[in-house]
Amino acid sequence: METVELRRIYKLGDQEVHALRGVNVKIGIGQFVSLKGRSGSGKTTLLNCLSGLDQPTDGIVRIFGEEIDKWSERKLTAWRRQQVGFIFQSLGLLPALSAYENVELILRMNKVGTKERRKITEDCLGLVGLTKWMDHRPYEMSGGQQQRVAIARALANSPRVIIADEPTGELDSKTGHEILGLFRQIVHERQMTMLMATHDSLSDQYVDQVLYLADGQINRIEIPEHTQTATTHDVADEALAMVGAEIPVEA
């Protein structure tokens, strides 16, 4: 997964807002990466471009060898449905449906057969520790349990990429640790690529890379201590000036 000179410009009346300014980044399969920066730094816009929810104004978005920035909206929609799992701060769980039904819904949308649908749904809820809570509705569950339902739903279509926007923003620190640990376990066991926009300092203990954004640019890449000897790389350095330059990470 990589971007080459990625730019996104929005029109705001007569003014132009440069949300992304020539972003170059390369992320390996099976990596858990967080995006950090102040509000308006470009985190969510970068996530949206990488997941096909938004199209860049200029530049390349290459996912598993495919340049998705050139795809039609129809092809992008099919790709997102089949290969991308989304986890948002607002969760988006349907209150009238049980945990089981919330997870199963994505499989119904993908026209998965009844027997397979049941197995996948039960497996995903079991993975996140909610086997005994399958029949409960969101309002009967804690915030952490609701987040686990959202994770199970994101995993239901066996995605290659998971996109998360502030997934621990409303959780206490204990629950945040549990959810981040679950993310790391899933990413490395299933060899998925996960990108997470966050302000949560706890995340540094679990991710493989931290990308710091400011004014629509990546100005720093940090490798946390648990991954290897902590090193901070300034984007001003010549190595990161190279298009798509990648910092090796031992997963």
- List Cβ<8 Å contacts ≥24 apart for 77-81: 79/52, 80/51, 80/52, 80/53, 81/109, 81/110, 81/157
Q: What is the CATH number of domain 2-92+160-241?
A: 3.40.50.300
Instruction: Choose among 39, 52, 149, 63: nearest CA to 103.
Output: 149
* pTM score of the predicted model: 0.83
Query: Where residue 241 falls among pLDDT bands split at 50, 70, 90?
Result: very low
- The HSE-up count of residue 143 (CA atoms within 13 Å, CB side) is 14
Of the chain, the end-to-end C-alpha distance in Å amounts to 16
* pLDDT value of residue 91: 74
Q: Averaged over 219-227, what is the pLDDT?
A: 84
**Please, are residues 99 and 136 in contact by the beta-carbon 8 Å criterion?**
yes
Amino acid code (one letter) for 6: L
Tell me: the pLDDT tens digits for 149-174? Answer: 999 999 999 999 999 998 888 788 88
Name which residue leads in pLDDT, 109 or 231.
109
Where along the chain do its domains lie?
A: 2-92+160-241
* pLDDT value of residue 13: 84
Instruction: Choose among 46, 52, 16: nearest CA to 33.
Output: 46
Q: Does residue 154 sit in helix, strand or coil?
A: helix
Query: How would you write 86-143 as a 3-class SS string?
Result: EEECCCCCCCCCCHHHHHHHHHHHCCCCHHHHHHHHHHHHHHCCCHHHCCCCHHHCCH
* pLDDT value of residue 228: 60
Tell me: the pLDDT tens digits for 60-97? Answer: 999 989 999 999 999 999 999 889 999 987 778 999 99
Residue 69 φ/ψ region, left for φ over 0, alpha for ψ in the -120 to 50 degree band, beta for the rest: alpha
